[in-house]
Amino acid sequence: MEQKQINLLILGVIVVLIFGVFNYLISPKYQEITLKNNEIEMLEKQIKSINDYYLFAEDNFKKLKDAGWDNKRKIIESNFTSSPFFFPKVHYFLRTISSENGMIVSNITNSNPIEISKTQDEYRDKLEGPVKKTTFNLSLTGNYSSLRSLLSSLERQARVVTVRSVSILPLSKQSEDMPSDFFDFNLSVDLYSY
């Protein structure tokens, strides 16, 4: 083999080696590093967005606390509790508020709770929680001003009371003890729970 041919062969081997190193070592490693860079970039973005979200949440949580949320939550959460004592509590609440407004309570009955999302109520889609409503029927006796006072009191409660219907009827049991301006009232109201 002539020197010229040997030289050409060596040149060829070097070229093949250069190609091999580039193609099988450098290029895959470079791609691997590019992937790692993308991963780092993604993680940095994730950290930034998490931090931004936490800052936003922290800021809103502070505003909520400053607005006295702890007390307000205690006031409104009676509408969103899920307790086995819901019925006795509401019966007691309705009896107390009726008596406070000069009404005589003769009977209170209630329906089973219904999930509002399963009803035809127009506002059902606006609710975010699994709110259920229960209808309570009250049989009351008292005068007209007591009824107005009771309705106003119910409308001012933090425990939301939706008056479905009010019936004002002549006294069914007339007695000498009853004042002449007394009526029977049937009050149907909805109360809410989870």
Residues lying near another protein in the complex (CB under 8 A) are found at 3, 7, 10-11, 14-15, 17-18, 21-22, 25-26, 29-30, 32-33, 36-37, 39-40, 43-44, 46-47, 50-51, 54, 57-58, 60-61, 64, 69, 73, 76-77, 79-80, 121-123, 126-129, 131, 147-148, 151-152, 155, 160-170, 192
Q: Which is nearer to another protein, 25 or 111 (CB)?
A: 25
Q: Which is nearer to another protein, 88 or 129 (CB)?
A: 129
Residue 64 is encoded by which pair of tokens?
A: 């909520």
Residue 90's identity, in one-letter code, is: V
Q: How far is the CB of 4 from another protein (least distance, A)?
A: 8
Q: Which is nearer to another protein, 43 or 109 (CB)?
A: 43
Q: How far is the CB of 64 from another protein (least distance, A)?
A: 6
- Report how far residue 190's alpha carbon sits from residue 132's, in angstroms, rounded to the nearest whole number: 10
- Report how far residue 60's alpha carbon sits from residue 180's, in angstroms, rounded to the nearest whole number: 57
Q: How far is the CB of 157 from another protein (least distance, A)?
A: 10
Q: Which is nearer to another protein, 83 or 164 (CB)?
A: 164
Whole-angstrom CA distances from 126 to 73, 101, 123, 130, 162 are 20, 33, 5, 11, 17
* Strand, helix or coil for residue 148: helix
Q: Which is nearer to another protein, 41 or 109 (CB)?
A: 41
Q: Which is nearer to another protein, 100 or 164 (CB)?
A: 164
Q: How far is the CB of 151 from another protein (least distance, A)?
A: 4
CB 132 within 8 Å of CB 79: no
- Report how far residue 164's alpha carbon sits from residue 114's, in angstroms, rounded to the nearest whole number: 15
Q: How far is the CB of 36 from another protein (least distance, A)?
A: 4
Whole-angstrom CA distances from 187 to 97, 102, 126, 153 are 13, 15, 27, 14
- Report how far residue 77's alpha carbon sits from residue 19's, in angstroms, rounded to the nearest whole number: 73
Q: How far is the CB of 21 from another protein (least distance, A)?
A: 4
